[in-house]
Amino acid sequence: MATDQTLAWAYTEDLYVESDVVTQARRLAGEFGISCVSPATGALLRLLVSSTGVASIVEVGTGTGVSGLYLLANGDVTLTSIDVEREAQHAAREAFSKAGVRSGRTRLINGRSADLLPRLAANSYDLVFLDGDPLETPEDAEEALRLLRPGGILVVARALAGGRVADPARREDDVVAIRNLGRELVSSPDLETSVVPVGEGLLVAHLL
Ligand SMILES: C[S@@+](CC[C@H](N)C(=O)[O-])C[C@H]1O[C@@H](n2cnc3c(N)ncnc32)[C@H](O)[C@@H]1O
């Protein structure tokens, strides 16, 4: 069974052929030591945005722009993206430009999510994508729920920590933080949720 699941996971990831711009951003991320959303995760993010009429997005964890390229792929979506790594954000800005994204559609803010999310306007965004420090993600999620409009979507990356969350013997701080957050969101009466075992796991929550 586990082998079948591993094969299914690899098959799903291999289905997607990425554009040259995404491939280049992924390669640069490797040089920065930044891990990016997987191709199948990117495809799901793109689908979420295009199929739900999302117009305004906040992202924590710009990296070199891989996830941003997927979030910006369709329509006239605007992206506010936060990262502590200035150089990586410069690379992301270049990637967005190469992909033909108008500069007015992106706002890249350098700094920590804990400092910056509280400065963004409440009830103003359609989707918040959290892919920063897993230890800070629970607090970021609280802020994200404040930022979202009713009907908005919260997406938490690496929600299964690549499988570690499912193993109760794993008690590392990042695993415990993400495991507890996942349980909290899934049991919230204010949210409709799905945990998708794509990439390192994606938790999607719809604010009711
Ligand atoms: C997993 S990478 C994100 C990759 C990006 N989402 C992608 O798929 O291309 C995590 C990023 O979050 C940034 N980061 C970590 N902690 C952060 C924090 N507290 N506030 C803002 N950015 C943070 C790191 O510098 C890193 O670029």
Domains of the chain: residue spans and CATH:
2-207 (3.40.50.150)
52: exposed, middle or buried (Cβ count in 10 Å: 0-12, 13-18, 19+)? middle
Question: In ligand 1, which atom is closest to the CA atom of 64?
Answer: 9
The C-alpha angle 80, 121, 177, rounded to 5 degrees, equals: 70
187: exposed, middle or buried (Cβ count in 10 Å: 0-12, 13-18, 19+)? exposed
Residue of the nearest CA to atom 8 in ligand 1?
Answer: 36
Each residue of 138-178: pLDDT tens digit?
A: 999 999 999 999 999 999 999 999 899 999 999 999 999 99
What residues does ligand 1 touch, defined as CB less than 6 Å away? 29, 34-37, 60-61, 63, 66-67, 82-85, 88, 112-113, 131-133, 136
In angstroms, what is the span from residue 84 Cα to ligand 1's centroid? 7
DSSP assignment string, 129-153:
EE-S-TTTHHHHHHHHHHHEEEEEE
In angstroms, what is the span from residue 3 Cα to ligand 1's centroid? 31
The answer on pLDDT for 5 being more than 90 is no
Each residue of 40-75: pLDDT tens digit?
A: 999 999 999 999 999 999 999 999 999 999 999 988
Q: Is the ipTM of this complex over 0.90?
A: yes
Residue matched to tokens 């009711």? 208
The stretch 2-8 carries a mean pLDDT of 86
pLDDT-derived band at 205 (thresholds 50, 70, 90) equals: very high
Q: Whole-prediction pTM value?
A: 0.98
pLDDT-derived band at 2 (thresholds 50, 70, 90) equals: low
Task: Judge contact between 82 and 133, C-beta under 8 A.
Answer: no
